[in-house]
Chain A
């Protein structure tokens, strides 16, 4: 051990003082020689004879030096250095080849790196700061009502479920519930800000293993009595930005939605919750009601008719399998209550990841497919470069044969080739990182945490690993081929016959490349067409030109401008602003999950069945115009629908369909919750919100002016329709409204498109990723095919010359070349067809309105590839027909 360490250090020393070491050796050998000469002279030889004898005995001085130098391990490095210099020189000498190879590798490595880092951040690397994320799970409780689920969440209260599961204690070590982070106002007036708050159960922090950075986290007392203990825990980031990490922050009050909460602690540094949106403030569940985050009466945590945007998390007990935990949970939940609702609970358990809410199989699958697509692209890139290298081996045949016959070892030749691959790989890695950085920049559009789109040590490490793997993948084949070259055959020019084995290998590589590209192109086609179909679905809402304006103005502060007047004035001001077409109000903006839903009945109709459930929305005049929902029949809600007029309602087409069996919905009077029944005066197009797959929930729209007092004098959300990009109006609107009242909490002005992003995300992500990879694959395959097919033709120049000389017409030459070159392409397409045919079945769940075996995608991909291949072949084929037979034959 000690000796080998010594050898290592001495080797380093020798490397560092290479010049001195070489001089030293020169002197030593000189002195050796002189000693030998002296000895010879002492034995009676003349000086000349003695010198000659000594030289003879010693042999070649250079050989001795080389052998001696090779004795240390550092000589390996030295030869590697030589290889490196040699490779660099070679690559510089053929810039076209180098650029093609480096770019190809860069695209492959860059794509893989970007895909890896996003997949890693979203699905693999757990949320920051959480202890042992491997045993954390998210539970989804779905209640199947009869045959169809009403929504992906069903009607159930996760908070009540969490308590049940936790009390039972047999399925999980711990269970907690929390509300998905929602925006709240921090402070008031000009300096008001928006942060995300998450209402959590007491077990939340202990379950995740979060420690306080200062102060304390929540206690069981904090969540016992509603509104009793106004406390909050803030994130380290908020502590930093608001209090500069001062310890006095603990115990201070902050205003959340206008309500004072006492800061009792700071969560561990780096912990920002476990969802994609970073959390600034955590609030115990008992305070949510007081803060207006949940406006249901009574303790919303135990009512089972409340849909909250909540999530259930649990820690697996050691030794308990997911399956066992799920079935135990199902048992616990079906025993408890809800019997009258005829619901069967169905729990699904999934790992926690930032992409997690609502994590469905579509998103998880997408991650896998992304990774797979990236790997395919990388493989294509490898095949491409391997082929380029193989082709070069042939042009370098003479040089290689020369080196072999001059005594270079085969291992040395192979090593030199691998060095070249490594150099190409590293250059490709550099380009790849730049491409990855650019790609990740593009991905900022998607709601992924910002640190997912950064190149950090982890990403760098992975891309280097990918590079190493890649270099071996594309380098080994040509290297082994080169070192097995027969020097004699190489020195004689055997070019005319062509290396059949190499050709076969190239053809195989082309076929593989084509088949992989085909599979990717089919995937891209399927996703792009899904996205097309989604865009074609009418959401019933002109979401791309809509701004959602809300402020949590409290009932308790009238300040300079009473609340009702504020909203009236706000609407007038907005309507007068340039670029604003329509302004209206609503209690529940679309694409949220905050509808108050419940049963309704029709006046005069006794039995309308179990299906009767609708979401109620109170809207202002001009609502349907503003939001872009068509009135199919009848009229909209108008300004003339005052409190004194007859209460009216508009129903959605989906609700009208439910009512249709009992007559024409228009003219019916509908009862829902309190108050007199409202006369249906119009039918509106169904708003397909939340999930594009839903039929669209039945909706009942009533006039806000005719609503019960707490709603007609409540806090509506203002909707504004712009005539251009809504983003350009955000700042002006905020400033205008914030100026109306000095004590106003934060006024949020949000484009509706923001709310839609998460719904469309899987498709957009899928379409962008597959399209990007598809285009990449196509580009790579195109470049590869062009280069290789061109090469096939070039290799047969002499043969074509002979054929021409013997009188073959140019058409037959073109046909010959094309037929032979296209064969691997056709084989590749057929193989790709098989791969895509099988693979696309698994893609089915992620598609929208497109069959997995969509003929357009398949045929399109096939035509595209064959077309590319044809162009790649025909150009060199025609060039071949113009070859002068004499020149071709004289080539050797």
Chain B
């Protein structure tokens, strides 16, 4: 059964998975860290709340794309760290390629129509 899509606020549908995978590609992180990192890198454009983040993480974990592990944080607290699995890495590559193809196509369409309008 495919995971049910859920609207993530301020995010293009379906991209949250890719962004989480991309974030985790650099280093394993815990839930809060992922949210902060996404906000920072997007320069505040994407605010990911817990209600979207955790369901997404569960789905990724179920798909075997990320693996979770309890570890101690730098502040000496226990937190669940998520890391990319080899499957996840492959999936990220795939999704990224698809995304680039799509955005390229979309921007091409948008540009043509703009030129014509102008």
Q: Which of B30, B36, B52 contacts A31 (CB 8 A)?
A: B30
Q: Which residues of A contact B79 (CB under 8 A)?
A: 28, 31, 35
- Give the complex CA separation of A2 and B65 in angstroms: 11
Q: Which of A7, A32, A70 contacts B63 (CB 8 A)?
A: A7
User: Is there an interface contact between A73 and B1, defined as CB atoms closer than 8 Å?
Assistant: yes
Q: Which of B19-27, B53-61, B97-105, B110-118 contacts A (4 or more CB under 8 A)?
A: B53-61
Of all chain B residues, the one with the shortest Cβ separation from A13 is B62
Q: Which of A2, A34, A39, A64 contacts B54 (CB 8 A)?
A: A64
| Interface size class, chain B | 20 to 34
Kindly state whether residue A487 has any CB partner on chain B within 8 Å: no
User: Is there an interface contact between B62 and A7, defined as CB atoms closer than 8 Å?
Assistant: yes
User: Is there an interface contact between B49 and A57, defined as CB atoms closer than 8 Å?
Assistant: yes
Q: Which residues of A contact B64 (CB under 8 A)?
A: 2-3, 6-7, 10
Give chain B interface residues in 21-70, CB to chain A under 8 Å.
30-33, 36, 49-52, 54-56, 58-59, 61-65
Task: Give the Cβ gap from A346 to chain B, nearest Cβ, in Å.
Answer: 62
Q: Which of A7, A24, A29, A35 contacts B33 (CB 8 A)?
A: A35
The verdict on A72 contacting B51 (CB below 8 Å), with A31-B77, A38-B75 known, is no
The verdict on A39 contacting B55 (CB below 8 Å), with A10-B61, A28-B80 known, is no
- Give the complex CA separation of A73 and B58 in angstroms: 11
Kindly state whether residue B6 has any CB partner on chain A within 8 Å: yes
The verdict on A6 contacting B63 (CB below 8 Å), with A32-B31, A67-B55 known, is yes
User: Is there an interface contact between B50 and A70, defined as CB atoms closer than 8 Å?
Assistant: no
Task: Give the Cβ gap from B37 to chain A, nearest Cβ, in Å.
Answer: 12
Kindly state whether residue A536 has any CB partner on chain B within 8 Å: no
- Give the complex CA separation of A70 and B4 in angstroms: 9
Kindly state whether residue B3 has any CB partner on chain A within 8 Å: yes
| Interface size class, chain A | 20 to 34
Q: Which of B58, B77, B80 contacts A72 (CB 8 A)?
A: B58
Of all chain A residues, the one with the shortest Cβ separation from B79 is A31
Task: Give the Cβ gap from A430 to chain B, nearest Cβ, in Å.
Answer: 30
Kindly state whether residue A48 has any CB partner on chain B within 8 Å: no
Kindly state whether residue A36 has any CB partner on chain B within 8 Å: yes
Of all chain A residues, the one with the shortest Cβ separation from B47 is A57
Task: Give the Cβ gap from B5 to chain A, nearest Cβ, in Å.
Answer: 11
Q: Which residues of B contact A25 (CB under 8 A)?
A: 54
Interface digits, A1-13 against B, CB 8 Å rule (1 contact, 0 not)?
Answer: 0111011001100
Kindly state whether residue A298 has any CB partner on chain B within 8 Å: no
User: Is there an interface contact between B51 and A67, defined as CB atoms closer than 8 Å?
Assistant: yes
Give chain A interface residues in 27-55, CB to chain B under 8 Å.
27-29, 31-32, 34-36, 38-39
- Give the complex CA separation of A392 and B69 in angstroms: 51
Which of B30, B32, B77, B80 counts the most A-chain CB atoms under 10 A from its CB?
A: B32
- Give the complex CA separation of A3 and B87 in angstroms: 9
Of all chain B residues, the one with the shortest Cβ separation from A73 is B1
- Give the complex CA separation of A73 and B36 in angstroms: 28
- Give the complex CA separation of A68 and B6 in angstroms: 11
Kindly state whether residue A871 has any CB partner on chain B within 8 Å: no
Q: Which of A2, A7, A36, A73 contacts B32 (CB 8 A)?
A: A36
- Give the complex CA separation of A461 and B73 in angstroms: 56
Of all chain B residues, the one with the shortest Cβ separation from A69 is B58
Q: Which residues of A contact B108 (CB under 8 A)?
A: none
User: Is there an interface contact between B54 and A68, defined as CB atoms closer than 8 Å?
Assistant: yes
Kindly state whether residue B78 has any CB partner on chain A within 8 Å: yes
Q: Which residues of B contact A58 (CB under 8 A)?
A: 49-50
- Give the complex CA separation of A11 and B59 in angstroms: 10
User: Is there an interface contact between A7 and B51, defined as CB atoms closer than 8 Å?
Assistant: no
Interface digits, A771-786 against B, CB 8 Å rule (1 contact, 0 not)?
Answer: 0000000000000000
User: Is there an interface contact between B32 and A35, defined as CB atoms closer than 8 Å?
Assistant: yes
Which of A2, A31, A76 counts the most B-chain CB atoms under 10 A from its CB?
A: A31
Q: Which residues of B contact A535 (CB under 8 A)?
A: none
Kindly state whether residue A500 has any CB partner on chain B within 8 Å: no
Of all chain A residues, the one with the shortest Cβ separation from B58 is A71
The verdict on A71 contacting B63 (CB below 8 Å), with A29-B50, A57-B49 known, is no
Which of A39, A68, A76 counts the most B-chain CB atoms under 10 A from its CB?
A: A68
User: Is there an interface contact between A72 and B62, defined as CB atoms closer than 8 Å?
Assistant: yes
User: Is there an interface contact between B62 and A11, defined as CB atoms closer than 8 Å?
Assistant: yes
User: Is there an interface contact between A39 and B62, defined as CB atoms closer than 8 Å?
Assistant: no
Task: Give the Cβ gap from B81 to chain A, nearest Cβ, in Å.
Answer: 10
User: Is there an interface contact between B55 and A68, defined as CB atoms closer than 8 Å?
Assistant: yes
Kindly state whether residue A661 has any CB partner on chain B within 8 Å: no
Majority secondary structure of chain A interface residues (helix, strand, loop or mixed)? helix
Give chain B interface residues in 72-109, CB to chain A under 8 Å.
73, 75, 77-80, 87
Q: Which residues of B contact A675 (CB under 8 A)?
A: none
Task: Give the Cβ gap from A51 to chain B, nearest Cβ, in Å.
Answer: 15
Task: Give the Cβ gap from B84 to chain A, nearest Cβ, in Å.
Answer: 14
Q: Which residues of B contact A71 (CB under 8 A)?
A: 3-4, 54-56, 58-59, 62
Kindly state whether residue A63 has any CB partner on chain B within 8 Å: yes
User: Is there an interface contact between A70 and B36, defined as CB atoms closer than 8 Å?
Assistant: no
The verdict on A59 contacting B51 (CB below 8 Å), with A28-B79, A38-B75 known, is yes
- Give the complex CA separation of A7 and B36 in angstroms: 28
- Give the complex CA separation of A206 and B36 in angstroms: 81
- Give the complex CA separation of A72 and B60 in angstroms: 10
Task: Give the Cβ gap from A61 to chain B, nearest Cβ, in Å.
Answer: 9
Q: Which residues of B contact A57 (CB under 8 A)?
A: 49
- Give the complex CA separation of A57 and B39 in angstroms: 14
- Give the complex CA separation of A57 and B36 in angstroms: 13
Task: Give the Cβ gap from A794 to chain B, nearest Cβ, in Å.
Answer: 43
Of all chain B residues, the one with the shortest Cβ separation from A21 is B58
Give chain A interface residues in 67-117, CB to chain B under 8 Å.
67-73, 76
User: Is there an interface contact between A29 and B54, defined as CB atoms closer than 8 Å?
Assistant: yes
User: Is there an interface contact between A39 and B6, defined as CB atoms closer than 8 Å?
Assistant: no
- Give the complex CA separation of A25 and B58 in angstroms: 10
Q: Which residues of A contact B52 (CB under 8 A)?
A: 67
The verdict on A34 contacting B51 (CB below 8 Å), with A7-B63, A71-B58 known, is no
Task: Give the Cβ gap from B57 to chain A, nearest Cβ, in Å.
Answer: 8
Task: Give the Cβ gap from A793 to chain B, nearest Cβ, in Å.
Answer: 47
Task: Give the Cβ gap from A15 to chain B, nearest Cβ, in Å.
Answer: 12
- Give the complex CA separation of A63 and B51 in angstroms: 7
Which of B6, B73, B75, B80 counts the most A-chain CB atoms under 10 A from its CB?
A: B80
User: Is there an interface contact between A27 and B62, defined as CB atoms closer than 8 Å?
Assistant: no
- Give the complex CA separation of A881 and B59 in angstroms: 63
Q: Which residues of A contact B62 (CB under 8 A)?
A: 6-7, 10-11, 71-72
Q: Which residues of A contact B75 (CB under 8 A)?
A: 38
- Give the complex CA separation of A58 and B6 in angstroms: 17
Q: Which residues of A contact B63 (CB under 8 A)?
A: 3, 6-7
Of all chain B residues, the one with the shortest Cβ separation from A5 is B64
User: Is there an interface contact between A32 and B78, defined as CB atoms closer than 8 Å?
Assistant: no
Q: Which residues of B contact A72 (CB under 8 A)?
A: 58-59, 62
Task: Give the Cβ gap from B83 to chain A, nearest Cβ, in Å.
Answer: 15
Q: Which of A6, A27, A64 contacts B50 (CB 8 A)?
A: A64
Q: Which residues of B contact A36 (CB under 8 A)?
A: 32
Task: Give the Cβ gap from A253 to chain B, nearest Cβ, in Å.
Answer: 68
Of all chain B residues, the one with the shortest Cβ separation from A3 is B63
Q: Which residues of B contact A69 (CB under 8 A)?
A: 58
Q: Which residues of A contact B50 (CB under 8 A)?
A: 29, 32, 58-59, 64
User: Is there an interface contact between A31 and B32, defined as CB atoms closer than 8 Å?
Assistant: yes
Task: Give the Cβ gap from B73 to chain A, nearest Cβ, in Å.
Answer: 8
User: Is there an interface contact between A7 and B54, defined as CB atoms closer than 8 Å?
Assistant: no
The verdict on A35 contacting B30 (CB below 8 Å), with A6-B64, A72-B58 known, is yes
Residues of B at the A interface (CB closer than 8 Å) are 1-4, 6, 30-33, 36, 49-52, 54-56, 58-59, 61-65, 73, 75, 77-80, 87
Residues of A at the B interface (CB closer than 8 Å) are 2-4, 6-7, 10-11, 24-25, 27-29, 31-32, 34-36, 38-39, 57-59, 63-64, 67-73, 76
Q: A63-B51, A67-B52 are in contact. List 8 more A-B contacts (CB 8 A).
A: A2-B87, A3-B87, A4-B2, A7-B63, A11-B62, A32-B50, A39-B36, A71-B58
Pull 5 A–B residue pairs with CB atoms less than 8 Å apart, ordered by A: A32-B31, A59-B51, A70-B4, A71-B59, A72-B58
Give 9 nearest A-B pairs by CB, closest first: A35-B32, A71-B55, A71-B58, A6-B64, A68-B54, A73-B1, A7-B62, A31-B79, A10-B62
